[in-house]
Amino acid sequence: MSWGAANARRLRRHGLLPEARLGDAPEAAAAMAGAHAQVQSAAEHSVALRLSRATRADVQRSLWTERALTRMPGVRGTVHLLRTTDLALWTGALGAVPPQSPFPVDVRLTRAQTDDVVSAVQDALSDAEITLEELDREVVRRTGAWAGDRVMPAFQDLWPRWRQAMDAAAHRGVLCFGPPKGRRVTYTSPRRWFPGLVPVAAHEAVGWLLRHYLHAFGPATPRQFARWVGAPSGWAVEQFSAHRAGLDEVIFDGAPAFIDGGDNRFEEKAPTGALLLPYFDSFVVGNHPRTRLYPAGAADRALTPTGQAGNFPVLLLDGAVAGVWHQRRQGRRIAITVEPLAPVPRRHRLALDEEVERLGAILDGNPTLTIGPVAVGPHA
């Protein structure tokens, strides 16, 4: 199977081709195996981009009013927008991923402490929407002073010890984000709008996640799956082996890889057109091999030194990264600067103009386009 055919299929399945737009925000989030939402505005852009005539406000309504989307820690412990009806599977799968602590032993929580914290979080959020500072106090009150010890290095600060268990609480189905209070985030329990939420048993849930990943990003290897989900490579190899009966091995771009069993329809028609993808768009984060998606000098310009994707918004031309871009908003005016790696052919320039107009509609503003250097560095 060729790179071009696989990339065209990924673009189609992600709803990024004009003829393949998706039906609603939950379907879009599911199609990309979760929308990366560490930057919430970028997640809303990512989801709306995959729909016809949708705006960020439509995504916000799906999240905070309809509760059809849930914002919570997902793969790699990174905040994602997930389809609410999939939460039992997501939590079952993510809860099965072996935890990997970056902290020294004297900072880490024991298993018993983690259980105590998760129980405290469950009690505190069962019928409430509270800020992180309020949750700090509630967890310490229910567990003990040790939970509040400020020993956890994070963002040039020291956080309370208990916060190491936030991912565990989310993956056991007792913590997610609530609607913001002004500029302050809140936390609540997903069981408030998903009554009876119980994580699916690990084997079934991991099998679902593996097929879900391969549908969005296949063909792929265990190592690529491990990187995407945030797990040790050995664990990923074990999961591919445990679910081998439901997978097909193929030769992809000259090397062995896997697809979901029977999912072998590929299009040789190459993708065309221009796309402006926001920070951490799932298409670039999960798409491999990087050398194909980021040809020539694109990797040097749009990837971090460690090869991480998503830290820059990117320009895609005919399905490959061809530059970076940035937006600056002032009232309803949105100044968009696009820095291509090479002169943009006329047919691509027309498509780029259309993409800028579409971006303006998604963001509910009046866009202007400048072709020139982007001085803003990567997002952390």
Both structure tokens of 46: 């990512």
Query: Which CATH number is 251's domain given?
Result: 1.10.10
The reply to whether 340 falls in a domain is yes
Quote the number of domains for the chain: 3
Same-domain pairing of 135 and 177: yes
Return the pLDDT at 269. 77
Residue 62 maps to a domain:
no
Q: Give the residue from 176, 196, 216 where a domain finishes.
A: 196
pLDDT value of residue 209:
98
Same domain, yes or no: 113 and 186: yes
pTM to 2 decimal places: 0.94
Residue 337 in domain: yes
328 with 365, same domain: the answer is: yes
Domain end marker among 236, 260, 284: 260
Q: Does 206 lie in the same domain as 183?
A: no
Residue ending a domain, among 196, 218, 240, is 196
pLDDT of amino acid 271:
83
Same domain, 358 and 288: yes
328 within a domain of the structure (yes/no): yes
**Same domain as 168, residue 244:** no
Please report the pLDDT score of residue 193 as a whole number.
Answer: 86
Residue 45 lies in a domain: no
How buried is residue 168: exposed, middle or buried, by Cβ count under 10 Å (0-12/13-18/19+)? buried
Residue 249: give the domain boundaries: 202-260
Give a yes or no: residue 88 inside a domain. no
Residues 286 and 365 in one domain: yes
Token duo for residue 81: 């927008």
Q: Is there a single domain that holds both residue 189 and residue 234?
A: no
Domain assignment present for residue 334? The answer is yes
Mean pLDDT, contiguous 10-residue spans, the chain (380 residues):
93 94 97 95 97 95 96 96 97 95 90 96 96 97 96 87 96 96 94 92 98 97 97 97 97 95 84 94 96 93 92 96 96 96 92 95 96 91
Q: What is the pLDDT of residues 280-301, one digit of tens each?
A: 999 999 999 999 999 989 999 9
